[in-house]
Amino acid sequence: VWTGLYTGSALGRFVTSTGQFTALAAPYTPNNLAIPFPSRNGRIYVTDHQNNKVAVWNPRTSTWGAAIAMPTPNCWVTAATEDVGRQTLYFTEYYGNKLGKLPWAGTMSDIVVPGGGPAFLSYHNNRVWYSEWLTSKLGSYNVVTGQVVEYNFPAGQAAETGGPLGTRRDGKV
């Protein structure tokens, strides 16, 4: 189990079979490692909202890779999801109203989405689905066409804001 140790300046690793908890010191300072995402490429990508970076841990070698600076200053990078087939990770940029796009072997770039503070996201069926923390909408970015579509919450839920998204074992959001 991986967890960000936001005030502890580390990535937490809990081994369920032994009960051992390890804090893996972050590779830069200052840092506030927040939300880890285990990629199918074998690495753990950890968002750092306050410092506008994504830290990369390689469990196979027990080493940190380069900390990736987000292209948009002060974007508040929040969470990640992955298109395994295209070997690409996506990150929400809450203050930037963007999605970060990171190929497994490439550099981070930005995708502009309508305002609303994208916060949490999930990938399914060629789309990155994201919640908007500042509106009562969900968004969808089509990775093939580049089209962005937003969906309003139903009547009676207009005051609701977008929180975390759940993904089923079959990959559906």
Q: Model confidence over 6-32: pLDDT tens digits?
A: 999 999 999 999 999 999 999 999 999
Which of the four pLDDT bands, split at 50, 70 and 90, describes residue 38?
very high
Question: What is the mean pLDDT of the segment spanning 147-170?
Answer: 80
Most confident of 99-108, 145-154, 163-172: 99-108
CA dihedral 132, 137, 138, 140 (to 10 degrees): -100
Which of the four pLDDT bands, split at 50, 70 and 90, describes residue 160?
confident
Residue 148 has pLDDT above 80, yes or no: yes
Residue 153, Cβ density class (10 Å: 0-12 exposed, 13-18 middle, ≥19 buried) = middle
3-state helix, strand, coil in the chain (%, to 5): 0, 45, 55
pLDDT of residue 169: 77
Q: How far apart are CA 165 and CA 87, in angstroms?
A: 21
User: Which DSSP letter does residue 48 get?
Assistant: E
Q: How far apart are CA 157 and CA 63, in angstroms?
A: 45
**DSSP 3-state of 154:** coil
Q: How far apart are CA 128 and CA 143, in angstroms?
A: 7
4 close to 33: Cβ distance less than 8 angstroms: yes
pLDDT of residue 98: 97
Question: Whose CA is closest to 48, among 1, 7, 14, 82?
Answer: 7
pLDDT tens digits, 97-125: 999 999 999 999 999 999 889 999 999 99
The model's pTM: 0.93
Q: How far apart are CA 20 and CA 159, in angstroms?
A: 42
